[in-house]
Amino acid sequence: MSGTTLLINLAGAIALLLWGSQMICGSLLRGFGSPLRHWLGQHLNNRWLALLCGVGITGVVQSSTAVSLMASSFTAAGTLGLAPALAVMLGANIGSTLVVQLLSLDLSLAAPVALLAGFLCFRLRDDSRFESIGCALIGLGLMLLALGMLGATLGAVEGTPVFQLVMTSLDGDLLLALLVALLLTWMCHSSVAVVLLIASLAGTGLLSPATSMALVLGVNLGSTLPSLLSASGNVARRLPLGNLLVRLSGAALLMPWIATLGQWHVIEQLPPALLVVALHTAFSLVLALLFIGFTGPMAKLLTRLLPAPAAVTDPGMPLYLDEAGLEVANIGLSNAAREALRMADMLSGMLDRVLQLFRTANQANADQVRHIDQSLDLLSAAIRAYLADIGKEGISDQDADRSQEILLLVINLEHAGDILATSLAHLAARRLRRGEPFSEFELSTLYPLHQELLDSLSLAITVFLREDLPTAHQLVARKENVRRLEAAASREHFRKLREDRGAWAESGDIFQRLLRDYRRVHHHIAALAYPALERAGERDIEHAYLNEPLPGETSISPVKENSPCAS
């Protein structure tokens, strides 16, 4: 077999191994990511429990990098303290070693069994969770097949002169071996795959025990780099940096003694492949026991090293749309939901300034409304683009529904802000500039409508966060209250115009348009109740806002073509 053919076989085996690992991690997070995220957020207050959770979750998803991304997202969001998150990573490091031990066994018969079981599970049940389990089993089968291919290829590579020359050069330079393993692990984004590769190489007999241990240390350092480099912002970098410091401390303590340890009789008697796996496990286990008691001081140190950034001056700039969240759908959706809630706060601020504009002819209030609307549009565009990126790799049905709800909230809040800025605030400012302040009757009519909008906005956020059906019913019922207030105010206003023949017609027309704008804004807010009612099977067709635009208004679809929910 030629050298080119061997290299192609070796690269193909490694690619299949990485692809199988990615299938397991991605499918399980896609199918069970949301329940896992909620469970983690509620049960990680104790450091020992957090460590065990890290072990168990990494053993399931077979990726300590994915666990690091999830924990980093929790710490950045403030739902998980940095100290328990560090304990989670100590457990995740142990969990990855357990995966290596399992896959290092002779599981040649398990590969076809896993592939067959995964195919049957994927095809027999039309359910997203069964499909995720099926994909995970197929990924496991692919990993086992890749390990078999890797062993056969390395057996053929062992006798080639080039391979022997490369191994000889690494065998004489422990620091070079560490750096090569670090770089390879960072490129592959999988410590499990690289450790299994090193174990296979050690099994050929070309690596000394000292070189094997140096390579393992390099793998442990390289596995921390993907999470650290993908994090954006100081807060998100704290956890991966802490994980790197822990492993770097262990490597710095062990590296000077590797040559001496490699000459121990006990180590020399161990099979080379078993030595690699055992050292990988012992290294993570000892570090966990040493540093589990120092997670609190480490958290304080990392907070000082990476302080939280100053507040962003432009509210339209996203704060939580971390690129690391795109790797795990439920984390990305949580980030998008937090930004959507910021949009709701901005809309509430616009309403407050519009109310001030009714009272005083202050151009600054009108300018503030316009500036907030620009920030609202900017943030809305960022959230929609972020949601589209989350859907590129495919998401579960549950996450797809949540993505559509977030998109619906963003679109309706954006349109409500447009009405406030381009119509309602503009009309109020134009009338006040002409020296025609609002009468007591007009203000007493607009105030109840304004309060209805604020109350309905609070109810809409409650429905969005808790999916509370009674609150959703209450929100829909308020549409009729707003309609009645608008109709009563309109009738009373026309009656006063008939009595006062000297009233200026345009002033009356502006007031009527203000009443209609309030109802239009409330229409978009009340629309946020329908997803919860639709899931509960209680949505009435006559209330379907998709087919019930107000006069002069275009129907709004909650799913855009560039969204991850569009089919």
- Using alpha carbons, select from 259, 255, 252, 281 the residue that is nearest to residue 208: 259
Residue 375: CB atoms within 10 Å = 19
Query: What was the pLDDT predicted at 248?
Result: 92
Residue 52: CB atoms within 10 Å = 16
Q: Is 122 helix (H, G, I), strand (E, B) or coil?
A: helix
Per-residue confidence band for 550, with pLDDT thresholds at 50, 70 and 90: very low
For residues 305-312, average pLDDT: 70
Per-residue confidence band for 25, with pLDDT thresholds at 50, 70 and 90: low
Separation of first and last alpha carbons in the chain? 48
Give the chain's length. 567
Residue 100: CB atoms within 10 Å = 22
CA dihedral 203, 206, 207, 208 (to 10 degrees): 110
Q: Indicate the domain borders of the chain.
A: 3-305, 323-545
With tokens 């896959």, the residue in question is 103
Element housing 147 (H / E): helix 128-157
Q: How do residues 36-95 score in pLDDT, each as one tens digit?
A: 666 666 666 677 888 888 888 777 666 676 677 667 766 766 656 788 888 888 888 888
Q: Report pTM.
A: 0.56
Query: What was the pLDDT predicted at 245?
Result: 92
**Angle made by CA atoms 46, 52, 58, in degrees to the nearest 5:** 130
Distance set, CA 27 to CA 33, 96, 105, 132, 390 (Å): 9, 18, 24, 5, 14
Q: How do residues 161-171 score in pLDDT, each as one tens digit?
A: 766 677 667 76
Q: pLDDT higher for 137 or 46?
A: 137
Give yes or no for a contact between 13 and 153, defined as CB atoms under 8 angstroms apart: yes
Could you confirm whether domain 323-545 is CATH 1.10.12.10?
A: no
**Phi and psi, residue 372, nearest 5°:** -65, -40
- Using alpha carbons, select from 304, 550, 244 the residue that is nearest to residue 415: 550
Q: Is the pLDDT of residue 356 over 80?
A: yes
For residues 492-503, average pLDDT: 69
Burial class (CB in 10 A: 0-12, 13-18, 19+), 384: buried
CA dihedral 99, 100, 105, 110 (to 10 degrees): 50
For residues 404-420, average pLDDT: 90
Burial class (CB in 10 A: 0-12, 13-18, 19+), 456: buried
> Rounded CA gap, 342 and 345, in Å?
5
Region for residue 502 given its phi and psi (left: phi exceeds 0; alpha: psi -120 to 50; beta: otherwise): alpha
